[in-house]
Chains A and B, each alone.
Chain A
Amino acid sequence: MIQVENLSKAFGPKVAVDDVSFSVERGEILGFLGPNGAGKSTTMRMITGFLPPTAGAVKVGGNDVMEKPIEAKRLIGYLPESAPLYTDMTVEGFLGFCAEVRGIGGADKGKAIDRVVDMCFLKSVRHQSVDTLSKGYRHRTGFAQAIIHDPDILVMDEPTDGLDPNQKHEVRSLIRRMGQSKAIIFSTHILEEVEAACTRAIIIDQGKVVANGTPEELKAKSELANSYIVSISGTEAAAVRDKLNSVIQSSKVTIVNDKPPTVVARVFPKNASSDGELGQAIFDVASQNNWKVNEIKKEEGRLDDVFRNITLSDT
């Protein structure tokens, strides 16, 4: 549904987006991750036709956004960063205006408003003026505006920014639900959001895509991925380190915590070792030395670790 091809954007000498390519299909929820100033908003503004690209192209439902802007924009629902709204209207008036601009009139308009007011929990503020809304309600009104025409494509710039934890949760489940029938792209700098809602994530840094994959694939890139955390009593840190280091499947052992009589260690796998072997080996060593294993846990890898490694490499 969305094809981004070699997209670049320069503001004078400053290159905000640099040769970015990816695509999003129906049923996918793409998380767009990156530190502040990475170029997330700029990319989204080019996808939605607000900014013209310096180079490259965006196709939305087969329509080039620059050549067939109206057709492309019809397919998209867009929540810009910080959810701008006309403050001199009521929530209902604003949603009605957005519906009409999108060609929804008459009885359909009323139905569309009812639907999004319901979905976004706006009932209590429906007749309230936008400029008196709290931040959470403003955001939801922006969200409601983006889905008023039940678009095939949803582009959201930091949709959970400024919401409290409950509201974040609500928005995420809303995104997940809608993701089944739409192509969704949303930006965030909150990593748990990616794990909670995305089918795929792209990390961008300084305008470039530095990683692209499912949350699991990205996590696997973490140094910590497939390492074991093991908590052992009845011995000393030095012994744990030496004995576990000699295990053939391990590449490195670090002591995470040493509070006698308990030692917590992290054992990193050798690249070649296959799944589960290292865990078994740790158990074997423990029983040979009569250690008591309190807990052993395999690490999947952490997104924040990957994120930090990728995006900090050049600062």
Chain B
Amino acid sequence: MKSIWTITKRELAGYFNSPVAYVFLVIFLLMTGAFTFMIGQFFERGQANLQPFFMWHPWLYLFLVPAVGMRLWSEERRLGTLELILTMPISPWQTITGKFIASWGFLILALSLTFPIWWTVNNLGSPDNGAIFTGYIGSALMAGGYLAITSMTSALTRNQVISFILSVVICLFLVLCGWPPVTDPLATMAPNWMVEGVAAFSVMPHFERLQQGVIDSRDLIYFISLIGFPLFATSVIIRNLRS
């Protein structure tokens, strides 16, 4: 546990010692704001909920999460410090977990800085705060899933740009395969079980249920696997890098 925390601390310090972290936080907040108020027409809708806020998260994270996670392993490979860390008395999964927690913590911090919007909606009306809370949980879990995928693609290459692009593509698939504008036309061509089968991989239905305040164990299992499986793949990739 202590070793994991040592790794996490180093990574977090790495974020905050560079201006990139602050730039990221500002961009994240500006973009959530812009999407929510301008495109989502938060005020014009006249409804006291955060649906126009959360609906953009799968898309925003598509670029922001890979940007945060792309350096996780690529940078270690580029600097050669992978050799240093893997010859220290700490197991690879501790390093993987430590790094993941640091980046996820950073993303959760960014997400929690959107609290003024929760405050606003509570001032305007009486929203379902339970649903808002589960929406935030869903958003954080989705960010974790994207991040785990980025961790995996980042272990694949020493080039951060390639790692970024790969993770965007995979995450885009996870969004699109359950996004109605894609699945609806698909449903007219392919058999229903196939469309639904593919859609089951998507973050969209799981995130939507959480936004509505529904906590279903299937959704939680989905997100836990979405985080766990790519992290496991990360450990396999790192082991294979060396043989």
Chain A residues at the B interface, C-beta cutoff of 8 Å:
45, 48-52, 69-71, 73-74, 76, 78, 80, 82, 84-89, 93, 97-98, 100-103, 105, 145
* Inter-chain contacts of B180 with A (CB < 8 A): none
Q: What's the minimum C-beta distance from A101 to chain B, rounded to whole angstroms?
A: 5
Chain B 1-28: CB-based contact to A (< 8 A → 1; otherwise 0): 0110011001001100110000000000
* Inter-chain contacts of B84 with A (CB < 8 A): 78, 80, 84-85, 145
* Inter-chain contacts of A103 with B (CB < 8 A): 2-3, 89
Q: Which residue of A lies closest to B81 (CB)?
A: A84
> Which of B7, B88, B243 is close to A51, meaning CB atoms less than 8 Å apart?
B243
Given contacts A82-B80, A84-B81, A88-B17, contact A48 B6 (CB under 8 A): no
Q: Are B14 and A101 in contact (CB under 8 A)?
A: no
Q: What's the minimum C-beta distance from B81 to chain A, rounded to whole angstroms?
A: 5
Chain B residues at the A interface, C-beta cutoff of 8 Å:
2-3, 6-7, 10, 13-14, 17-18, 79-81, 83-91, 242-243
Q: Are B88 and A102 in contact (CB under 8 A)?
A: yes
Q: Are B243 and A45 in contact (CB under 8 A)?
A: no
Q: Are B88 and A50 in contact (CB under 8 A)?
A: no
For the residues of B in contact with A, the DSSP-based class is helix
Given contacts A97-B6, A101-B88, A103-B89, contact A50 B17 (CB under 8 A): no
The number of residue pairs between A and B whose CB atoms lie closer than 8 Å in the complex comes to: 70
Q: Which residue of B lies closest to A87 (CB)?
A: B79
Q: Are A84 and B18 in contact (CB under 8 A)?
A: no
Q: Which residue of A lies closest to B94 (CB)?
A: A101
Report the bound CA distance from A93 to B6 in whole Å.
12
* Inter-chain contacts of B10 with A (CB < 8 A): 86, 89, 97
Q: Which residue of A lies closest to B5 (CB)?
A: A100
* Inter-chain contacts of B87 with A (CB < 8 A): 48-50, 73, 76, 78, 80
Given contacts A50-B242, A73-B87, A93-B13, contact A80 B6 (CB under 8 A): no
Q: Are B80 and A80 in contact (CB under 8 A)?
A: yes
Q: List 16 A-B contacts (CB under 8 A).
A: A52-B242, A70-B89, A73-B89, A74-B89, A76-B87, A78-B87, A84-B81, A84-B83, A85-B81, A85-B84, A100-B2, A101-B7, A101-B88, A102-B88, A102-B89, A103-B3
Q: Which residue of B lies closest to A53 (CB)?
A: B243
* Inter-chain contacts of B81 with A (CB < 8 A): 84-86
Q: Are B83 and A85 in contact (CB under 8 A)?
A: no
Report the bound CA distance from A98 to B3 in whole Å.
11
Q: What's the minimum C-beta distance from A54 to chain B, rounded to whole angstroms?
A: 8
* Inter-chain contacts of A74 with B (CB < 8 A): 89
Report the bound CA distance from A111 to B27 in whole Å.
42
Q: Which residue of B lies closest to A65 (CB)?
A: B87
Sorted from nearest, which 10 A-B pairs have the closest CB atoms?
A: A84-B80, A73-B89, A74-B89, A48-B87, A100-B6, A80-B83, A84-B81, A101-B88, A70-B89, A78-B87
Q: What's the minimum C-beta distance from B95 to chain A, rounded to whole angstroms?
A: 9
Q: What's the minimum C-beta distance from B90 to chain A, rounded to whole angstroms?
A: 6
Q: Which residue of B lies closest to A41 (CB)?
A: B83
* Inter-chain contacts of B86 with A (CB < 8 A): 49-50
* Inter-chain contacts of A76 with B (CB < 8 A): 87
* Inter-chain contacts of B88 with A (CB < 8 A): 73, 98, 101-102
Q: What's the minimum C-beta distance from A192 to chain B, rounded to whole angstroms?
A: 27
* Inter-chain contacts of B242 with A (CB < 8 A): 50-52
Q: Are A50 and B83 in contact (CB under 8 A)?
A: yes
Known: A49-B87, A50-B242, A80-B87. 17 other contacts (CB 8 A): A48-B87, A50-B86, A52-B242, A70-B90, A73-B88, A84-B83, A86-B14, A87-B79, A88-B14, A89-B13, A97-B6, A97-B10, A98-B88, A100-B2, A101-B6, A103-B3, A105-B2
Q: Which residue of A lies closest to B14 (CB)?
A: A88
Report the bound CA distance from A49 to B14 in whole Å.
26
* Inter-chain contacts of A93 with B (CB < 8 A): 13
Q: What's the minimum C-beta distance from A152 to chain B, rounded to whole angstroms?
A: 13
Given contacts A50-B242, A52-B243, contact A101 B3 (CB under 8 A): yes
Q: Are B83 and A101 in contact (CB under 8 A)?
A: no
